[in-house]
A and B are shown apart, each in its own frame.
Chain A
Amino acid sequence: EVQLLESGGGLVQPGGSLRLSCAASGFTFSSYAMSWVRQAPGKGLEWVSGISGGGDYTYYTDSVKGRFTFSRDNSKNTLFLQMSSLRAEDTAVYYCAKARTYFDFWREDSWGQGTMVTVSS
């Protein structure tokens, strides 16, 4: 059974940094692309970033480019989202999600329960 467990969320001041992690199990981690998707309070889903199975290709939505870095450690079956220069509008539940194949981060067939990030002074 696929399991994805996000951690690292919390309260951070504007301009601060936070690193989210996502521990994966139940599948051959390095064979699948992964994504981060967020949902601000009372809002819809928003795709944040995607990464290929090997970690050699990463993609970001415009609003986080240059501020967020998506990486993975395939030896530890773990994803990381390093977030810096955080803004109030980054406040959201952050979900990690597994794609259906090595590269297709636009088809997410398993999701974690999410971790809450609150950016506020």
Chain B
Amino acid sequence: QSALTQPASVSASPGQSITISCTGTSSDVGGYNYVSWYQHHPGKAPKLMIYDVSDRPSGVSNRFSGSKSGNAASLTISGLQAEDEADYYCSSYTSSSTVIFGGGTKVTVL
């Protein structure tokens, strides 16, 4: 099964908003409301930012939000800050009872 499709990179200036897309199929993203988003600073442990499409774990800034339409999910980061610079991965539960990740998006704060 191929990875979910994410843009390789996104960049913006501090204070701006960005949206990262995550495209799958009806067997994963489109079939379940089980899309998660992770922030990963290289060399550190990944961090859960969004789960079940749009829910935020306790402690995650409300500048992070998630949504889904059909087979595509999105992560929006508003009021971009320097510490948001990281790799971001989406993931989804699949009809095969497995998990599939996206290829990752490198976010650069200009």
Contacts and interface: CB of A to CB of B under 8 A. Distances in A.
Interface in A1-54: 35, 37, 44-47, 50
Interface in B79-110: 87, 89, 91-93, 97-104
A100 B51 contact: yes
B62 to A, nearest CB: 17
**Main secondary structure on chain A at its contact with chain B?**
strand
A73 interface: no
A44 B3 contact: yes
Interface string B37-48: 010100011111
Contacts of B44: 113
Interface residues of A, number: 25
Interface string A74-110: 0000000000000000000001010010001111111
Contact of B51 (A35, A95, A107, A112): A107
Which of A46, A95, A97, A107 is packed against the most chain B CB atoms within 10 Å? Answer: A107
B36 interface: yes
Contacts of B97: 59
Nearest to B35: A106
Interface of A: 35, 37, 44-47, 50, 59-62, 95, 97, 100, 104-114
